[in-house]
Chain A
Amino acid sequence: MNKRIYKVALPLMVVTCLAFLMAASSTFAKGDPDFDPPLAPLGPVPDPMDNSMTPEKIELGKMLYFDPKISGDASLACVDCHHPEQGWGFNEPICRGYPGTVHWRNCQTVVNTGYLNKVFWAGSTTSLEKQAKSAAQGGVAGNGELDVMDERLRQTPEYVELFRKVYGAEQPNVRPLAYMAIAAFERGALSQVGKWESPLDKYLKGKKSALSKKAVKGMKLFEGKANCIECHNGPMLTDEKFYNIGVPRPEEWETIGLNQITFRFELYAKGVYEDKYRNYKDDLGLYFQTKQKKDLGKFRTAPLRYLKYTAPYMHAGQFFTLEEVIDFYNDGGGENDFTKKYGTKTKILKPLGLTDGEKEALVAFLEEISGKEIKIGSVKVPKMKPFPDVKRLTQKKAKITGIEFYLDAQGIKY
């Protein structure tokens, strides 16, 4: 190798290493377990290569999002648990679920979920397409079944036309095409970009007037004394990692029969060993996927955008206000079934010693960055119609349709 390159490269490498060490030493200063990316504005919405967005697809997804045909008894649509007037989520601690049942976790907002790599509270799913499937087909969610839902779409002339236009499909289907369109709608229409750009993004891009003084103070606390940035970082204000912060068990499980049914059903349906099914009284969180004791009660760090509209908070809506949430962290988190027994509580949380003024500033920051409420106006859901060829269907015609070739082969006159 040429000696001259060494002469240039070596000092350069030393400088780079030093710079990296300096940067790292600042972020790891308080014994941080990992590198915390700074808060950042949202980039363009991810546009997956296997489900790219087109205006037509987004429009189709919007209709499907509002259409109750995609559920078991055709009575509830995506929108019934992820409602525009409830922060594109559901304003009760625990989600309503399918009629005759109740869900077991809080319904999360759909806003900005296109940016996430892990969805659902325990991050069990990796895309919005898959999320739509679980929501439409789960027993305490949509309770729908594909054959029936497919046919409802196929018998809706508008959908037949739109699926043809959007996908070139011979006929509509729910999986994967409807789920893909719904995901495209969620990414394309429910992200805080363009006209919905949030004050946080504006501020981070240099427009200092986008946030009030109080909110800026809150942001400094967020990144500093309160150390929220440890987990709530990057453009989505989440590291998408898993922690047990000791959120207490939702009281509904102890006090309401219907919720007890769903709790046991989830343990049963998600497939844990019988001793866990018999004995556990709290949400197992990440454990359902890993079956590792260290993951009991861990949930994926929640994103904090659009927070103002999405109360109540935490995986089963344990807190109604942001003030309560901040008090919870100020106390160093809480305790649940797994923190004490299995020691799965994160070491990151410590009492923060925030003053009332500091708490207010934090709330102001979280509220202000929520931005404008995303509204899309009313959506018309297309109706099912009989196929055009049955209008003048006669008995004779009905009896031979579908078997002409068989009758010919048998030499049967008809």
Chain B
Amino acid sequence: MGKKKILAMSGLALLGAVTLFIAAPTVAMAGEDIGPLPKRKAPKASMVEMGKRLFYDARISGDGAISCATCHDPRKGFGDGQPLSKAYPGSDYFRNSATLLNVVYKSGFSDVGWGWDGRMGSSLNDVMRDQITETTILNLDMRILHERMKQDPTYVKMCKENFNGECSSGKARKALIAYVETLVSTGDAPFDKGNMSKDAKAGMKLFKGKAGCIKCHNGSYFSDGKPHNTGVAENLEVFKNAVRHATYRAVLTTYGVPKGGQWRRDVGYFFTSKKYADVGKFITPTLRELKYTAPYMHNGTIKSLKDVVEFYNNGGGHDDPLARELKKLGLSSGEKKQLVAFLESLSSPKQPGKIDPPKIPQEYPVIEDWLNKKN
């Protein structure tokens, strides 16, 4: 290869890096130090109102039985408090319902897909679309959503106000994103305020040093946005419960995962990459607001932060021959306590966004004088 060519290529790489940086100004790059979350531009209040109404409205599911808040409950850290989420009637889900708190910060990563395995695309708009239309989640035809909104005078008003147009599923997605934008930490966590306890401070040192947590949980979002296999035990419920297993296999089929019928483990990032080396990898989750989002891990198999620390102290899970990144940490019981104290200091004293789910009327008023109105 000629020198010129190499020069040109490194230039390109630099340009790439710069672009990446410009495109992702809100989140610290992988490997960077931990720190406070950057402020995000606040969405329009009226848009948030519309998104909030949609979020708690069960008419956003095919059979009108569940809303976003069914699995992302504002009283349970915007997860559902269960190891595995319930999801759409007739199809119990095979993963833990991840918190939505601070999830918008993921949009700063250019190479991370949403969901535990990254298969949900890398634009929040796509994620919203998938959540609404996927058969095992909300199972609603987007065109029905469009028409349901057009039938509800409140949405009609909200669409007019926010978009100066008639309701559509695209507008619903934009509004939902605006609401999720508000589900962020407010900077009140001891870590952000700088009023951590002595234990927590010691825990932070361990986090960055001996325990090595920072290798993956880094940046202001406490995630490198990359998939790793830590050897978390399988939640065998996914394989022993026929309904859950059918859901798992159906999703494997939908995503074209090879050997759909054989797996007795969650293939994780293999869903997205289809590389066997990625089997069992899951994208590093954020550690913020952790106090409110138990149980932990992609399949909810670890109940408490204490158990999580114990899990890592043991070098992760050992049954999985593919889990090779972690080593035993040799933490003393005092050090473990300090680590837990630090993890807790990443949570706000009061859970952000906590409300009692508002009740949204579920009927569809008739359009009066229908014959003389345009559809």
Check if B370 sits within 8 Å of A75, measured CB to CB.
Answer: no
Check if A147 sits within 8 Å of B253, measured CB to CB.
Answer: yes
Kindly state the separation between the CA atoms of A176 and B356 in the bound complex, as whole angstroms: 46
Check if B144 sits within 8 Å of A387, measured CB to CB.
Answer: no
Kindly state the separation between the CA atoms of A147 and B91 in the bound complex, as whole angstroms: 12
Where chain B touches its partner, the secondary structure class is loop
Kindly state the separation between the CA atoms of A144 and B91 in the bound complex, as whole angstroms: 12
- Asked whether A260 is an interface residue with its Cβ less than 8 Å from the other chain, the reply is yes
Check if B263 sits within 8 Å of A401, measured CB to CB.
Answer: yes
The stretch that binds B, out of A58-66, A94-102, A221-229, A348-356, is: A94-102
Task: Return the CB mask of A258-279 against B: 1 if under 8 Å, else 0.
Answer: 1011101101110000000111
Complex contacts, B91 vs chain A, CB 8 Å? 73-74, 148
Check if B374 sits within 8 Å of A403, measured CB to CB.
Answer: no
Complex contacts, B63 vs chain A, CB 8 Å? 72-73, 75, 98-100, 143
- Asked whether B111 is an interface residue with its Cβ less than 8 Å from the other chain, the reply is no
- Asked whether B363 is an interface residue with its Cβ less than 8 Å from the other chain, the reply is yes
With a 10 A CB-CB cut-off, give which of A256, A281, A402 has the most chain B CB atoms: A402
Closest to A145 in B: B135
Known: A72-B63, A145-B135, A396-B319. A264 touches B147 (CB 8 A): yes
Task: Return the CB mask of A371-403 against B: 1 if under 8 Å, else 0.
Answer: 000000000000011110111010111111111
Check if A74 sits within 8 Å of B90, measured CB to CB.
Answer: yes
Contacting residue for B370 out of A99, A139, A281, CB 8 A: A281
Number of B residues contacting the other chain (C-beta, 8 Å)?
Answer: 62
Complex contacts, B90 vs chain A, CB 8 Å? 71-75
- Asked whether B242 is an interface residue with its Cβ less than 8 Å from the other chain, the reply is yes
Check if A257 sits within 8 Å of B151, measured CB to CB.
Answer: yes
Kindly state the separation between the CA atoms of A384 and B241 in the bound complex, as whole angstroms: 9
Number of A residues contacting the other chain (C-beta, 8 Å)?
Answer: 63
Check if B264 sits within 8 Å of A72, measured CB to CB.
Answer: no
Check if A99 sits within 8 Å of B135, measured CB to CB.
Answer: no
Contacting residue for A99 out of B65, B136, B251, CB 8 A: B65
Check if B143 sits within 8 Å of A265, measured CB to CB.
Answer: yes
With a 10 A CB-CB cut-off, give which of B259, B321, B363 has the most chain A CB atoms: B321
Complex contacts, B321 vs chain A, CB 8 Å? 399-400, 407, 412-414
Closest to B139 in A: A72
Known: A143-B139, A278-B375. A395 touches B250 (CB 8 A): no
- Asked whether A140 is an interface residue with its Cβ less than 8 Å from the other chain, the reply is yes
Contacting residue for A402 out of B136, B150, B259, CB 8 A: B259
- Asked whether A57 is an interface residue with its Cβ less than 8 Å from the other chain, the reply is no
Complex contacts, B234 vs chain A, CB 8 Å? 395, 398-399
Check if B243 sits within 8 Å of A99, measured CB to CB.
Answer: no
Complex contacts, A328 vs chain B, CB 8 Å? none
- Asked whether B320 is an interface residue with its Cβ less than 8 Å from the other chain, the reply is yes
- Asked whether B280 is an interface residue with its Cβ less than 8 Å from the other chain, the reply is yes
Task: Return the CB mask of A283-307 against B: 1 if under 8 Å, else 0.
Answer: 0000000000000000000000000
- Asked whether A158 is an interface residue with its Cβ less than 8 Å from the other chain, the reply is no
Check if B143 sits within 8 Å of A386, measured CB to CB.
Answer: no
Known: A72-B139, A73-B89, A278-B374. A386 touches B59 (CB 8 A): no
- Asked whether B254 is an interface residue with its Cβ less than 8 Å from the other chain, the reply is yes
Known: A386-B241, A407-B321. A402 touches B375 (CB 8 A): no
Task: Return the CB mask of B222-249 against A: 1 if under 8 Å, else 0.
Answer: 0000000000011010011111011101
Among all A-B residue pairs, the 10 with the closest Cβ atoms: A100-B64, A74-B90, A257-B364, A139-B141, A99-B63, A145-B135, A151-B246, A384-B242, A401-B264, A73-B89
What would 18 more interface pairs be, CB under 8 Å, given A72-B62, A150-B253, A257-B365? A72-B88, A74-B91, A100-B59, A139-B141, A143-B62, A151-B250, A151-B253, A155-B242, A155-B249, A257-B363, A260-B370, A281-B371, A384-B246, A396-B319, A399-B234, A401-B265, A406-B277, A406-B279
What are 14 pairs between A and B in contact, CB < 8 Å? A147-B251, A151-B245, A257-B366, A261-B148, A264-B150, A391-B240, A393-B240, A399-B320, A399-B321, A399-B322, A401-B263, A403-B279, A407-B321, A412-B321
Interface residues, chain A, CB within 8 Å of chain B?
71-75, 98-101, 139-140, 143-145, 147-148, 150-152, 154-155, 171, 253-258, 260-262, 264-265, 267-269, 277-281, 384-387, 389-391, 393, 395-403, 406-407, 412-414
